[in-house]
Structure 1
Amino acid sequence: MKSVQQEIDERTNLTGSNKFELLLFTLGTSANSDRAELFGINVFKIREIVAMPEITSVAGAPPNMLGVVNLRGQIISVIDLPAIAGCTPKTGLNIILVTEFARSTQAFAVESVEDIARLDWGQVLSAESSAAGGMVTSIARLDGDTDHTRLVQVLDVESILRNMMPSDEAEVNPDTLGPQITLKPGTVILAADDSVVARALIEQGLDAMGAPYIMTKTGREAWDQLQSLASAAEAEGKTIHDKIALVLTDLEMPEMDGFTLTRNIKQDTRFKAIPVVIHSSLTGSANEDHVKSVGADAYVAKFVAEELAATLRKVLAQ
């Protein structure tokens, strides 16, 4: 039997090979199909899986908020995930997934938990060009590139949570960000994030800081952009440092994750001096330790604009 720590270490080490684990679950059937489709959340975001406990309704709660549960002394909000996804559970809401990410704890009610799948990020494609809405960030092919592979919709739980419980205050306030960021003339920040909501917030923050940027949607797209800029710099008799001041990357991304992107940058003699800041909702000491092991210059948890600004200034000053 593996110990809990062994399992944690094994999962953390997957990030070194562009792999991750996805918890698979069902929400019921939709109006367009009688089949219960598979959905997924990164295992790193799951704190625990619990049989449906007694839920206390809360007066004035937002739509699709079932109420709260008392779990070992912690009061946790429970979100009706099938209702948000437009699904109807055949057997009811039987399980809650207690999640921790982006500095918050919440539970998502689902119909059933099916499995944990170990995948390469190369098996995951962005969902933005598909018919999927903003709540699905990517589509995972469970069986690789086979013609009849099973597909899993990877949920953008950060966007779901933000849409359900929007902040009353502006998330990017130029008056509280501090002094503008000054980059070397002609250089930009290269940013990568697969979430529509996260990209919008990052863009607002960088605009407010006065920092020019190039925004990409995956680690692979950022890596290709870096190669292209390096070629352009060489043709102009310059180096990549005349084009890129810093790389800001998410961790969870289709095709190539942020760990792999960072390692590729730091192992390439052309790019290794470029500062890399990882900006992720995957918090916790295990992830932060691994960030250091792949050579990132800093880690900042999503999303507090003031903390992002302070981190960028600190790294650029170094």
Structure 2
Amino acid sequence: MAGVLDSVNQRTQLVGQNRLELLMFKLVGSQRFGINVFKVREVMPCPRLTLLPKQDKFIKGVAHIRGQTISVIDLSKATGGPEIKPDENSFVIIAEYNRSVQGFLVSGVERIVTLSWQDILPPPEGAGKSSYLTAVTEIDNEMVSILDVEKILNEISPISTELSDEVKDETVGQSLGERVIMIADDSTVARNQVKRALEPLGLKMVLAKNGQDALNQLNEMVQGCDSIDEKVALLISDIEMPEMDGYTLTAEIKSNEQLRKMPVILHTSLSGVFNNAMVEKVGAEDFIPKFHPDELATAVKKWLKVEELS
């Protein structure tokens, strides 16, 4: 176990092409789960937790860690499972999502495995909209579930998608005519957050559930055109996605003569440990950490260059 804990911090600096390292853990029972090591700051035995008055029912308490006060979420209870009872076997995974740091209480941490995003698949169709899964994979002949952490966090503390009045401008969409914006994200919650935030710009939007889905849609839409920007004005893509990540998607787009003119904004919760050199390497036009509606909308307006199209 000490080897796993010692290696997490080193591995958070790794950025691979269409690959990830997954920290495996358990909640209550034998089912195994995974979280991208790139999101993880630290893993530690569960520290002493302080209860807060009227705290959310999924918050186990707060811990004072390295000069920060961090809320610790019972990850089992937050996903509809039994409550985790902190003991000598329980751990807290300190992770950064959407510009904030959270602790996730888990009943046990196993090891880190290296995988290709091609081995990470969308959840089964029958999982339903209420599912907390964003992806699944197979390790040691067992299914490992990857949780939709953005959905969990949004249910505990909903993120506002409201644009400020000075950013709203429905004429942006009017300037594009029939051209659309594509949003690629494996989290249903995240896709809808982006969609709601950009609706006040009057944009027509199409959605893709991961990088491969986005690339398939783009290749289909470009048929009969000289360039995809005749139909799609901009792509907003998450980085972490099953089957094909945002880095690989961007690289595929920029290496394709029919697709390369379309601007790509990488929009991701990998805010704290993001490698800017990787964005330049794959050719993305911009990187926006999740989730600030005004910042995203301003970047969209910038790369659409609306004044040149009107």
Q: TM-score, normalised by structure 2?
A: 0.88
Shift, 1:207, TM fit: 1.7
CA distance in 1, matches of 2:8, 2:26: 26
CA distance in 1, matches of 2:294, 2:301: 11
Q: What is residue 50 of structure 2 aligned with on the other side?
A: 56
| Alignment-mate amino acid for residue 21 of structure 2 | E
* Aligned counterpart in structure 2 of residue 137 of structure 1, from 134, 140, 155: 134
Q: Is the 8 A contact 1:192 1:217 kept in 2?
A: yes
* Pairwise CA RMSD: 2.3
**2:215 matched to 1:218?**
no
* Aligned counterpart in structure 2 of residue 103 of structure 1, from 96, 99, 102: 99
| Alignment-mate amino acid for residue 19 of structure 1 | R
**2:163 matched to 1:166?**
no
1:29-44 maps to which residues of 2 (within 5 A)? 29=29, 36-44=30-38
CA distance in 1, matches of 2:273, 2:38: 12
Q: Pick closer, same or farther for the CA change 1:244–1:74 going to 2, 3 Å.
A: same
**2:118 matched to 1:122?**
yes
Q: What is residue 32 of structure 1 aligned with on the other side?
A: none
The DSSP-based 3-state class of the residue aligned with 1:96 is strand
Q: Is the 8 A contact 1:186 1:242 kept in 2?
A: no
Q: Is the 8 A contact 1:172 1:201 kept in 2?
A: no
| Alignment-mate amino acid for residue 294 of structure 2 | E
Shift, 1:4, TM fit: 9.1
Deviation string for 1:86-134 (max 9, x for gaps)?
Answer: 0455884611000112000110110110111111111111116132643
CA distance in 1, matches of 2:236, 2:167: 17
Q: What is residue 259 of structure 1 aligned with on the other side?
A: 247
- Stretches of structure 2 that go unaligned for 5 or more consecutive residues are 1-5
Q: What is residue 3 of structure 2 aligned with on the other side?
A: none
Count how many residue pairs are aligned between Structure 1 and Structure 2: 296
**2:152 matched to 1:156?**
no
CA distance in 2, matches of 1:128, 1:163: 22
**2:44 matched to 1:25?**
no
1:2-17 maps to which residues of 2 (within 5 A)? 7=11, 11-12=14-15, 14=16, 16=17
| Alignment-mate amino acid for residue 282 of structure 1 | L
The DSSP-based 3-state class of the residue aligned with 1:126 is coil
Q: Pick closer, same or farther for the CA change 1:104–1:70 going to 2, 3 Å.
A: same
Runs of 4+ residues over 4 Å off in structure 1: 2-9, 88-93
- Stretches of structure 1 that go unaligned for 5 or more consecutive residues are 30-35, 144-148
Q: Pick closer, same or farther for the CA change 1:285–1:191 going to 2, 3 Å.
A: same
| Alignment-mate amino acid for residue 226 of structure 1 | L
The DSSP-based 3-state class of the residue aligned with 2:277 is helix
Q: TM-score, normalised by structure 1?
A: 0.86
